[in-house]
Amino acid sequence: MKSRESNPAQAARPDEVSSSPVVHYPELPETLTGRLNFRMLRYFGAGAILASVTIGSGETLMASRGGSIFGYSVLWAVLVACAAKAVQVYTAARHITLTGRHPLEDWARISRWIPWLLIVLCLWCFPFLLSFLALVLGEIINEMFHIATPDDPQFRFWTRVWATGAALLAITLTLIQGYGMMEKIQTTVIGLLLLSIGIATVVAKPDWLAALEGTLVPTTPTYTPWLLEKYGDTFAERTPWVEITAIIGFIGGGTYDYLGYVGCLREKAWGAVGCEVGSAARVSIAEDEDNLFRGRRWLRPPCIDVNVSFLCVFVFSVCFVVLGAAILHPQQIVPAKNGELLTHQAQFLTQLHPALLHVYQIGVFMAFWGTIYGAYEIYGRTMYECLRPISKRVRGLPQSQVRRYVLAYCGLAGITLTWLTDNPIKLITFPALLGGVLTCGLWCFGMVWLDRKLLPNALKMRLPLLLATLASGALLTGLGGKAFWDYVRSLLF
């Protein structure tokens, strides 16, 4: 579904001398001709899918878990995750808007191993992530309808049954629905979740000064003595850096999500996205002042979409960390055991009134269902974008045809893992460290290379964005590398 505001026919035409396509950006819609205004929020859409894909696991579970473990001192990690990943994703959205090509298509020119490595990463991570989400959703259904308690021998069986049903339903809906309907549903879910959890945070009366300090003053993560005494089996093999980096990895999503998000922008046709620029030739951009002006203005929609998305993620994450720090941390309660990963967080709303338990359960159900529902759409696009640079056949196919095979693989492998695993938290540690942090940092460095190599000077990143991208790359690569080494070492020695 192409945007009605795009005009691909005017966006690109062959140069008279060179066979390489020359990008001429389409005329600007009225909303982009003037100053920034609230009407531009209409461009928030694909970012809602991206936010919803992460809110279930990253914010609802991992953020509140982080607050219960570290208190308010973990909030700096939330700020780092959201700021660094917003920069990372925007640079990629910026690239496809200016050139009409997914960054992977140009990274493949450096080495065809890059898409292949990402394909391996995605094929490895997808089933672990989806089985984890489905298992937690199964636990929520068990609790909502009092089907089985965690102490019941049948608890894990019924959890797996509901997890399998949720996965099959999500796959079916993804196959039959349109992209536009997905955007509308996920935008509504995000709005309702932010409203409810925001009210709960205010009512909890947290220590806002401590929260501000924890956000602005980074501290070295440490475990308190009571944590190791009560939950030694869970945290003995997980250093504080592994735990806090896993939180950073899941908040806001990871490389496997962002590859698909940038692919979603093909539906929007912003800037050069609607151009038929091909994949073999290097794209040139007409450098007359009028075209460059239109190019810079076309960057506003992806900037708004990405920043509103990560603002939602940041607010939601802060709320859950604050609630975990204010309510669970003083009681020395950590969501760590199977069957109780989301049980303790019910206090976030039941502190207002016991009857709100059902509101909490419905809200958490919607958060995880929204994540599973959006993940299948995003992951289908992720694999499509990974395959395009290395397969002429895939480039000639619509995304929907490739998606069917990806959904079949994700469904089969994810459901299989669902019936084999007994510890959902262990499922997500490896994907969080590798796909959610380490490769995110490398992505930032890759975007700087593309920017310096392919764009005309007038459209290159300005100094603040360039420095932010380099800083994000260094931070995410450093944190991810250290935590990944700690995690692997704990498994081997």
463 in a structural domain: yes
User: Which pLDDT belongs to residue 204?
Assistant: 78
User: Which pLDDT belongs to residue 178?
Assistant: 59
- Structure tokens that stand for 139 in this block: 């636990």
448 in a structural domain: yes
Look up the domain containing 343 and give its range. 8-25+40-492
2 in a structural domain: no
User: Which pLDDT belongs to residue 19?
Assistant: 53
User: Which pLDDT belongs to residue 50?
Assistant: 73
The domain that holds 216 is classified in CATH as 1.20.1740.10
User: Which pLDDT belongs to residue 1?
Assistant: 38
Q: What is the mean pLDDT of each run of 10 residues along the chain (493 residues)?
A: 42 45 85 75 72 66 87 94 95 93 89 90 87 85 80 86 90 73 61 72 86 92 88 79 86 88 85 69 82 92 90 88 89 75 70 70 74 82 90 84 89 90 71 84 94 92 96 93 80 67
Q: Measure the CA–CA gap between 292 and 286, rounded to whole angstroms.
A: 8
33 in a structural domain: no
Say how many domains are in the chain. 1
User: Which pLDDT belongs to residue 194?
Assistant: 67
435 in a structural domain: yes
User: Which pLDDT belongs to residue 335?
Assistant: 80
Q: Measure the CA–CA gap between 48 and 304, rounded to whole angstroms.
A: 11
181-214, pLDDT tens digit by residue? Answer: 655 665 666 666 667 777 778 877 889 999 999 9
Find where tokens 């490769």 sit: 439
443 in a structural domain: yes
User: Which pLDDT belongs to residue 12?
Assistant: 47
292 in a structural domain: yes
3 in a structural domain: no
